[in-house]
Amino acid sequence: MSTVTTTKPAPTAPGRPSVAAPRGEGRIGLRGNLRHIGALVRRNALQIKQDPESMFDVLFMPIIFTLLFVFVFGGAISGKGNQADYVNYVVPGLMAMMGMNIAMAVGTGVNDDFKKGVMDRFRSMPIARSSVLLAKIVVELGRMMVAIAILLAVGFILGLSIKSSVLDLFLAIGLSAVFGSALMWIFILLGLTMQSAQAVQGMAMLVLMPLQFGSSIFAPPSTMPGWLQSFTDYNPLSNLADAARALINGTPVGDSVWMTLAWSLAITAVTMPLAVRKFRQKT
């Protein structure tokens, strides 16, 4: 006759309730999420400190692009010798371009972290998965602010003038940051979907080139063919460039500010849940 033995759970110490195993990030509250984001932001900032070359794009891209477009396109658009007039047109547009180019770095960074096994370490830690992505965006927004500060400094040297108020200038910068953070979710999703950082860069360039040059960033849409003008009217980068330009130059903003905010909200509402879901599946 066989006997069946049963194993009883080990008794808990008197006065100490049994502790259930954690069931994931659903138990992490707002304060815990903020603490995790802060810790990961410090971690990413320390990485930049250890690898200062990762800031080269932020430091030199605004200088090169401003000088290049002002002295190459400025004479053709504003007339030879009138490049200074073009500065007030192109610098607000370049604020939109800075956000888009820096957003691309988020996608390649996320993809690279998976290749290096960094995400395997995060998987073993009791942290909210979304905090990893939010920390990336916070750090890249900081890099974006550095790039815009350098861009404005170069613009002032070349003759940029604020024809409205300092508050309007900060509103233009804030609008660029809002739209840039929305774009980062697109590139995070690409970084989580593509197999390599090179593939992320290739796909990003296919998106960046038509949006940047088919917009009002570098030239007035009135100088373009009719079919291209129709594209620029619906291009979100045109809305952001027009809004920043109007705020800095003191001209009527029209619907450009609200359209930029609407685009930012729509992009974030669609891509953020997809990116967080994809991240959870991969981790």
- 177-232 pLDDT, tens digit per residue, is 999 999 999 999 998 888 888 888 888 888 888 888 889 898 888 888 888 888 99
Mean local confidence (pLDDT), 50-78: 84
pLDDT in the model for residue 220: 87
pLDDT in the model for residue 280: 81
Q: Which stretch, 210-214, 267-271, 274-278, has highest mean pLDDT? A: 267-271
> For residue 54, is pLDDT > 50?
yes
Domain ranges of the chain: 31-282
The C-alpha angle 202, 206, 210, rounded to 5 degrees, equals 155
Q: How far is CA 52 from CA 18, 116, 187, in A?
A: 48, 19, 23
Q: What is the pLDDT of residues 120-171, one digit of tens each?
A: 666 666 666 678 888 889 999 999 999 999 999 999 999 899 998 899 999 9
pLDDT in the model for residue 122: 67
> For residue 245, is pLDDT > 80?
yes
pLDDT in the model for residue 142: 92
pLDDT in the model for residue 78: 65
Separation CA 213–CA 224 (nearest Å): 11
**pTM of structure:** 0.81
- 261 pLDDT band (50/70/90 cuts)? very high
Q: What is the pLDDT of residues 82-122, one digit of tens each?
A: 677 789 999 999 998 888 888 888 888 888 877 777 666 66
